[in-house]
Amino acid sequence: MNIFVINSGSSSLKYQLFRFPAEQPLCSGLVERIGLENSIITHKVFPATEEEQVVRRTLALPDHRAGLQQVLQLLTDAEIGILRAPGEVEVVGHRVVHGGESFAATTIITPEVKHEIRRLFPLAPLHNPANYLGIEVAEQIFPQARQVAVFDTAFHQTLPEHAFRYALPEELYREQGIRVYGFHGTSHRYVAARAAAYLGQSEARLITVHLGNGCSIAAVRGGVSVDTSMGFGPLAGLVMGTRSGDIDPSVIFHLMGQLGYDAEQVADLLNKHSGMLGLTGNSDMRDIGHALEAGDPRAALAYEMYAYRIKKYIGAYAAVLGGLDALIFTAGVGENDALVRRLACQDLGFLGIQLDESVNALRAPGLREINHPESRVKLLIIPTNEELEIAKQCAELLGVNM
């Protein structure tokens, strides 16, 4: 079965093509700067017996439809194409960020499902409209394919009520849906499943730490999410590239009441100008790492704050789980920044966490252990693969043997 996975952003389109049950993609790509005259397409093909082929094109793409049409041309190209015709795509899997309480599982897209995704726009105004646009365009380009939605929030719909409710008047939950939803669920689900399989423990108590430009952490027991750091929106929890993470709400009142900020300015400040960017002037951990090496005290403090917040959540979630079998680091920073991992695990021996610093400092591909042999808790690096997880959920929904 050919499954085409789309992650549609406001001005970008990421994609991968899988031929299940094989889990290695046939091709992948990224369309950037949609709507501008200098849009960029980077398309990679992974032949079975040759090195990957890379095609880069700069051209004017006025909208997502034009971008996906160009992708289709590459997919069916006479020389590097994977498909003979668009009809060979049997399923299109879409990443949809917010499913609210309506969607706790992967879902075949129907007019009713599309209506509900539109209704949820206010809960994810930066993401759901772009995801919805990807669905609309894919329906036009691949009219014969079944369209499937995979929701980032779905994995966290298993949170117990005492974990997902806020201590606010009940009508704000019942009538307005104000509660913890959590995000990065596709990534947390993928690495948790891989960790459980690696450990051979279906009921494993896991903490999964997703550290990219956006960061979140989840407590997972037996493959089920029981708590997570992001909340009603993706702002809460860990310190992130440009987002503040947890903050005393009184700061917001002060910004508005004493400093003259309006609601839009506060949202812009906390989402786009805070986090590591606010602390150091940079949002990319690689740049902050270079500044740290050069002796920048702001970079040193930022690293300490970033790791300290992770450590606090590790302790809290170990308590929630009643113990811990494995701690998993994933996503760009989690997989590649040895210092973050070292600082986050420092002085956690009382929880059974002992990092092997020499192994942690090494770079190596794939799933690997970085714990000391005497550590009671496994410390794992597991590269995330959200596109593969989306494809797997589509295949599972449609009964494809894997």
Options 63, 152, 262, 296, the catalytic residue = 152
Task: Compute how many other C-beta atoms are within 10 angstroms of the C-beta atom of residue 32.
Answer: 18
- Is 334 marked as a binding-site residue? yes
DSSP 243-308: ---S--HHHHHHHHHTS---HHHHHHHHHHS-HHHHHHS---HHHHHHHHHTT-HHHHHHHHHHHH
- Is 332 marked as a binding-site residue? yes
Residue 159 contacts residue 225 (beta carbons within 8 Å)? yes
Nearest to 242 by CA among 290, 296, 279: 279
- Is 7 marked as a binding-site residue? yes
CA distance 343 to 305: 10
- Is 14 marked as a binding-site residue? yes
Q: What is the token pair recorded at 97?
A: 């960020």
- Is 95 marked as a binding-site residue? yes
- Is 211 marked as a binding-site residue? yes
* SS3 assignment, position 367: coil
Q: Which residues partner with 44 through β-bridges?
A: 28, 54
List alpha helices for 285-373, DSSP H.
285-293, 297-321, 331-336, 338-345, 357-360
Is the CA virtual torsion 7, 271, 122, 169 positive or negative? positive
- Is 210 marked as a binding-site residue? yes
CA distance 253 to 261: 9
- Is 392 marked as a binding-site residue? no
- Is 284 marked as a binding-site residue? yes
Concerning whether 152 is annotated as a catalytic residue, the answer is: yes
Angle at 362 between CA 357 and CA 363, to 5 degrees: 145
Sheet holding 53-59, edge to edge: 53-59, 39-45, 27-32, 13-19, 2-8, 91-96, 146-151, 107-108
Residue 93 contacts residue 148 (beta carbons within 8 Å)? yes
- Is 214 marked as a binding-site residue? yes
- Is 2 marked as a binding-site residue? no
> What's the residue count for the chain?
402
- Is 271 marked as a binding-site residue? no
- Is 385 marked as a binding-site residue? no
Residue positions annotated with a catalytic role: 152
Q: Which residues are annotated as a binding site for ATP?
A: 14, 210-214, 284-286, 332-336
Q: Which residues are annotated as a binding site for Mg(2+)?
A: 7, 386
Q: Which residues are annotated as a binding site?
A: 7, 14, 95, 210-214, 284-286, 332-336, 386
Q: Which residues are annotated as a binding site for substrate?
A: 95
